[in-house]
Amino acid sequence: MCFTTLRFLDIYYHLFISWFIRAYNDYKMGEILMNTIYLEDSVYTTLQNHPEVKELLIELGFTPLSQPQMVQTVGRITSLKRI
Determine the average pLDDT of the residues in 6-34. Answer: 66
Question: If you average pLDDT over residues 17-36, what whole number do you get?
Answer: 65
Q: What is the 3-state secondary structure (H, E, C) of the chain?
A: CCHHHHHHHHHHHHHHHHHHHHHHHHHHCCCCCCCCCCCCCEHHHHHHHCCHHHHHHHHCCCHHHHCHHHHHHHHHHCECCCC
Query: Does pLDDT of 13 surpass 80?
Result: no
Q: What is the per-residue pLDDT for 82?
A: 75
Is 62 or 16 the better-scoring residue by pLDDT? 62
Tell me the whole-structure pTM to 2 decimals: 0.58
